[in-house]
Amino acid sequence: MAYQRKEIDIAQVQRQKDICGEILGRNQQAGATPLAMVDTYGCQQNEADSEKIRGYLAEMGYGFTDNEFEADVIVINTCAVREHAEMRVLGNVGALNHSKKARPSQIIAVCGCMVQQEHMAQKIKMSYPVVDLVFGPHELWRFPEHLKAVMDSHKRRFAAAADEGAVIEGMPIHRDRGVKAWLSIMYGCNNFCSYCIVPYVRGRERSRHPEEILKEARELVAAGYKDITLLGQNVNSYGKDLEEDVDFADLIRMINDIPGDFLIRFMTSHPKDATEKLFKTMAECEKCAHQLHLPVQSGSDRILKLMNRVYTREKYIEKARLARSYMPDLVVTTDIIVGFPGETEADFADTLSLCEEIRYDAMFTFIYSKRQGTPAATMPDPYTRADKQRHFDALMELSNTISGEKHKEYEGKTLRVLIDGETGKDEYNLSSRTNGGRLVHLKGDRSLIGQFVEVEIVSSNNWALYGRIAP
Ligand code: 5AD
Ligand code: SF4
């Protein structure tokens, strides 16, 4: 049956905020400010989710800490994309035995994509008694209710039933990235790439109404945010599920029309849905960064087909060329999976040659990780981990070489950057980003944080650029 769009009405979210109010009352009566720790694994979507958890916790009167021994409430927001992240989470959750022993009233919650998988929720239930509360991404908006139930009953609670997901407005958000903000525009994914767990744990694609997004964007600009990243698993299919006649390019144009000096970024784009209209809009909208994260995953047509990516190498290259024809200064980055089941030397050589052809500014490379329940998990996978590691190392080397060469091209140029924080180093104490999102280290007064400045690039390495503020 087709997905039925679900919207949670504001009264239900208000009920959650009322529960926050109740917990706030109790916390105020207790005197000292209680502390919470929120630890986030995985993608930007998860970081945005953690900002909502912190939003609720702040309404309950919690302050924040990074020290688990100080925390009254700990929330671990997990990722399921690769096994490595899951192993790290389980190791860290197990280690919380120590903090709980020192502070027996401590409440430990594990949420996010990992626990939306039935077998992982079971594993925590059976083997990690230190965990009091488990909730999946679809239950995040009900976090106050779940937390209060655990507080009141002193019983463990598991809330991660299968769900296709809803659109929820009105949750509080506690942002702490300085002048940079995440803005979720849609949730879920319908693509079912054969290796990927995301569509199973985050539900179907569903877009927020444009007026809700615009309202939030206006608030961000008014609050002084200068760098706004629109988030979605596949932003290029924004609006397809809405009754309004609006697509992602239209949304960019509407946000671009908000008065103010700020940048619009977005991620992630599925190549199959990246349109000429989008590239044209990016080029025409002066606030839209010339940055495109366009995951290719593989350069081999055979593997792309097995991955269910529904584009060919040629089509991908054509799209990247088209984007660059509109924006010659476009920064293009990608994700690549090495060692997909059955990937041969020839397939891998196709990936290397595609990277040489596109010349990405940066590449995020991953060794394939088998995800239970996905189609790729049952595909024959005859190659050894050592073969995959060898390919991974070769790809990293190519990626570093190309990034280094591209960074060299910036030297001697003057460009506009947004200063976004401190590095903790003496010589280059400030960090900043170019319009295309490349990292630039600078020397200057910290009062410049949040400002756009002109910078002359004086040197570079594979990872970053170094500059001085132009007179
Ligand atoms: N194994 C390795 N990498 C994966 N990704 C998604 N699923 C897997 C997996 N099973 C990578 C893809 C995606 C990025 C977010 O993570 O490259 O674009
Ligand atoms: Fe996973 Fe593919 Fe959806 Fe990205 S587009 S979240 S890789 S299924």
How many angstroms separate the alpha carbon of residue 413 from the centre of ligand 2? 37
| Nearest atom in ligand 1 to 195's CA | 10
Q: What is the pLDDT of residues 157-177, one digit of tens each?
A: 999 888 899 999 999 999 988
Q: What is the pLDDT of residues 181-209, one digit of tens each?
A: 999 999 999 999 999 999 999 999 999 99
Mutation choice for ligand 1 from 195, 270, 378, CB with most ligand atoms inside 8 A: 195
How many angstroms separate the alpha carbon of residue 369 from the centre of ligand 1? 8
- Distance from CA of residue 412 to its chain's centroid? 33
Q: Please report, for the chain, the start and end positions of each structural domain, with discontinuous segments joined by +.
A: 10-159, 180-408, 414-469
Kindly report the protein residue whose alpha carbon is nearest to atom 2 of ligand 1: 368
Task: Give CA separation, 373 vs 133, 189, 194, 196, 370, in Å.
Answer: 24, 16, 10, 9, 9
pLDDT at 1: 47
Helix or strand holding residue 422 (H, E): strand 414-422
How many angstroms separate the alpha carbon of residue 193 from the centre of ligand 2? 6
pLDDT at 471: 84
**Type of residue numbered 301:** D
* CATH of the structural domain 10-159, one choice from 1.40.20.10, 3.40.50.12160, 3.40.50.620, 3.40.50.10210: 3.40.50.12160
DSSP 145-207: HHHHHHHHH---EEE-------EE--------STTEEEEE-EE------TT--HHHHH-S-EE
Tell me if 296 CB under 6 Å of ligand 2. Answer: no
Q: Judge contact between 88 and 113, C-beta under 8 A.
A: no
Mutation choice for ligand 2 from 82, 191, 273, 296, CB with most ligand atoms inside 8 A: 191
Characterize the bridge pairing of strands 35-40 and 206-207: unpaired
Q: What is the pLDDT of residues 56-71, one digit of tens each?
A: 999 999 999 999 999 9
How many angstroms separate the alpha carbon of residue 198 from the centre of ligand 2? 6
Tell me if 196 CB under 6 Å of ligand 2. Answer: yes
**Alpha-carbon dihedral sign for residues 152, 153, 158, 159:** negative
Q: What is the pLDDT of residues 209-231, one digit of tens each?
A: 999 999 999 999 999 999 999 99
Kindly report the protein residue whose alpha carbon is nearest to atom 2 of ligand 2: 193
Share of the chain above pLDDT 90, in %: 95
Residues 349, 356: Cα–Cα separation, whole Å: 11
Residues 266, 440: Cα–Cα separation, whole Å: 20
How many angstroms separate the alpha carbon of residue 365 from the centre of ligand 1? 9
| Nearest atom in ligand 1 to 81's CA | 7
DSSP 323-370: HHHH-TT-EEEEEEEES-TT--HHHHHHHHHHHHHH--SEEEEEE---
Tell me if 364 CB under 6 Å of ligand 2. Answer: no
DSSP state of 139: G
Q: How many CB atoms lie within 10 A of CB 309?
A: 23
Q: How many CB atoms lie within 10 A of CB 269?
A: 21
How many angstroms separate the alpha carbon of residue 242 from the centre of ligand 1? 28
Tell me if 193 CB under 6 Å of ligand 2. Answer: yes
Q: What is the pLDDT of residues 285-321, one digit of tens each?
A: 999 999 999 999 999 999 999 999 999 999 999 999 9
| Nearest atom in ligand 1 to 197's CA | 7
pLDDT at 180: 97
pLDDT at 291: 98
Tell me if 342 CB under 6 Å of ligand 2. Answer: no
How many angstroms separate the alpha carbon of residue 363 from the centre of ligand 1? 13
* Nearest one of 299, 253, 263, 229 to 43, comparing CA atoms: 229
For helices 44-59 and 143-153, the axis angle rounded to 10 degrees is 60
| Structure tokens, 335 | 């994700």
Tell me if 199 CB under 6 Å of ligand 2. Answer: yes
Domains 180-408 and 414-469 share a fold: no
How many angstroms separate the alpha carbon of residue 434 from the centre of ligand 1? 27
pLDDT at 307: 98
pLDDT at 3: 74
Residue 9 has pLDDT above 90, yes or no: no
pLDDT at 2: 65
The pLDDT-based confidence of 248 (bands split at 50, 70, 90) is very high
Give the alpha-carbon dihedral of 37, 43, 46, 48, to 10 degrees: 100
Residues 189, 81: Cα–Cα separation, whole Å: 13
CA atoms within 13 A on the CB side of 185: 35
pLDDT at 397: 97
CATH homologous superfamily for the domain 414-469:
Nucleic acid-binding proteins (2.40.50.140)
Q: What average pLDDT does the chain have?
A: 96
pLDDT at 160: 87
* Nearest one of 231, 462, 288, 233 to 361, comparing CA atoms: 462
Tell me if 455 CB under 6 Å of ligand 2. Answer: no
Tell me if 438 CB under 6 Å of ligand 2. Answer: no
**First-last CA distance in the chain:** 63
| Nearest atom in ligand 2 to 268's CA | 4
CATH class of 180-408: alpha beta
Tell me if 267 CB under 6 Å of ligand 2. Answer: no
Mean pLDDT value of segment 335-351: 98
321, with CB counted inside 10 A (0-12, 13-18, 19+), is exposed
Nearest ligand to the CA atom of 374: 1
Task: Give CA separation, 222 vs 179, 215, 261, 425, in Å.
Answer: 12, 11, 11, 31
Ligand 1 interacting residues, C-beta cut-off 6 A? 81-82, 195-196, 295, 297, 335, 337, 366, 368-369, 371
Mutation choice for ligand 2 from 43, 45, 198, 335, CB with most ligand atoms inside 8 A: 198
Tell me if 192 CB under 6 Å of ligand 2. Answer: yes
Helix or strand holding residue 227 (H, E): strand 227-231
Residues 319, 313: Cα–Cα separation, whole Å: 10
DSSP state of 297: B
| Nearest atom in ligand 1 to 336's CA | 17
Kindly report the protein residue whose alpha carbon is nearest to atom 5 of ligand 2: 191
